[in-house]
Amino acid sequence: MYYEILKNKMSHRYRVLNNISEIIKITTNEINAYPLTLEIRPANSCNANCEFCICKLNNKNEMLDSRIFAKLIDEIIESGQIIAIVFSGGGEPSLHPYLTDAIIRLTEVGVEVGVITNGIYMSEELLKAYMKCSWIRISINSFNKEDYQKRTRTTNNTYNTVYQDISGLVSLRKKCNNNLVIGISAVIEEQNWQYRFLSQYILLAAELGIDMVTYKRNRTPGLFYRPLDNWIIDALIKLQEECKIYSNITSFIDGEEIKAKREYCNCNLVENNIISFIDARGDIYPCLYFAENQRNVLGNINDSGYRNCIYKSYGERKNIAKYCIHCKMCKNYNMNVLINKCNNSVINIDNCDPHWKFL
């Protein structure tokens, strides 16, 4: 449905250029306030038990207290500064009873929302709330019932439930005639690193009538991946063109590892709180990578609210930003490079990415 728009959008990193005047404003203030994009993991419990899940290591079946969650949404709305929110896991965000209200309240005031879910639970209210989002990504991780059950360690009908949930989303989108971009994602490992597996996700997306496929690496520390063969990449690009399904296969090849020779030695995104991250305990982290390792908690929203934590953590964020030279993985590497290149001047580019607010 949105193939042409998604196909012509530029890589994620260029989203900073759409936001650069705002970023310059933030970086020239001594202490800034709220980030532009905030990722919230409202629950770290999950209704699946995937064999490759790295969140299980820290999963203690916690959830943001609903009252605290509601207060956080109040704060976000009152601030008027946060332009995009992602609700995601470790853990399954749809299990949080306040998620529906949170999405409705945020989108009503123009904050864009994206959701990453496993799609196992989708009530009628949640389905309607999803219609207000900019995008939703369902981590399906398989293209058939048997493999799904094995990889997610769920009951034998769960794949059908997820399939029907996605079909429900597609029908409602059609009925509402709205702009929700629907995608599926799959964790790719050594055993499904071949064309015959990778291509199935594109075919499944076409069958479901959705828009995109996101391939993700198994991020268990220490796993090594050889690059994909060129013929596989070419064949997948051809298939996605034929099926009119967008995929991240070209950026997936680049991987997320920071290049040996860095082009910056200070992480602008973290120092200036341009992105931020809150988990199910209410802990605030500077970015996804610190959250995954449960390192460098910048504060906790249960104690004194989000804003106070942001102010108090300025010094610590500055220190973390200085040591970013030690960060081994970072999907934000290229964004930092671009921010530095802008060097306090706005670059005008025609970036037609519909999701440019999600840094």
Identify the burial level of 8 via C-beta atoms within 10 angstroms of its C-beta, where 0-12 means exposed, 13-18 middle and 19 or more buried.
exposed
Is 42 or 105 the residue whose CB approaches ligand SF4 more closely? 42
Per-residue burial over 224-257, b if 16 or more Cβ lie within 10 Å, else e, is eeeebeeebbeebeebbeebbbbbbbebbeeebe
Binding mask 127-166 for ligand SF4 (x = CB under 6 A): ------------x------------x--------------
For residue 89, state whether it binds ligand SF4 (rule: CB under 6 A). Answer: yes
Residue 176 C-beta: closest distance to ligand SF4, Å: 27
> Count of residues binding ligand SF4 (CB under 6 A)?
24
Is 243 or 330 the residue whose CB approaches ligand SF4 more closely? 330
For residue 20, state whether it binds ligand SF4 (rule: CB under 6 A). Answer: no
For residue 337, state whether it binds ligand SF4 (rule: CB under 6 A). Answer: no
For residue 298, state whether it binds ligand SF4 (rule: CB under 6 A). Answer: no
Q: Which residues contact 348 (CB under 8 A, 6 or more apart)?
A: none
For residue 115, state whether it binds ligand SF4 (rule: CB under 6 A). Answer: no
For residue 282, state whether it binds ligand SF4 (rule: CB under 6 A). Answer: no
Question: Residue 186 phi/psi, 5° resolution?
Answer: -145, 130
* Rg, Å, the chain Cα set: 20
For residue 286, state whether it binds ligand SF4 (rule: CB under 6 A). Answer: yes
Quote the longest CA-to-CA distance of the chain. 56
Residue 347 C-beta: closest distance to ligand SF4, Å: 21
Tell me the H-state helices in 39-157: 66-79, 99-108, 124-130, 145-152
- Single-letter amino acid code for the residue at 93: P
Only one of the segments 70-78, 130-138, 205-213, 263-271 lies at the binding site for ligand SF4 (rule: CB under 6 A); that segment is 263-271
Residue 150 C-beta: closest distance to ligand SF4, Å: 13
Distance CA 266, CA 269 (A): 9
Is 134 or 154 the residue whose CB approaches ligand SF4 more closely? 154
CB-based contact 354:179 (threshold 8 Å): yes
Distance CA 50, CA 55 (A): 10
Is 9 or 137 the residue whose CB approaches ligand SF4 more closely? 137
For residue 93, state whether it binds ligand SF4 (rule: CB under 6 A). Answer: no
- How crowded is the C-beta side of 187, counted as CA atoms within 13 Å? 16
Binding mask 34-73 for ligand SF4 (x = CB under 6 A): ------------x-xxx--x-x------------------
Q: Which residue has the tokens 């799609």?
A: 119
**Positions that interact with ligand SF4 (CB under 6 A):** 46, 48-50, 53, 55, 89-92, 118, 139, 152, 267, 269-270, 286-287, 289, 320, 324, 327, 330, 332
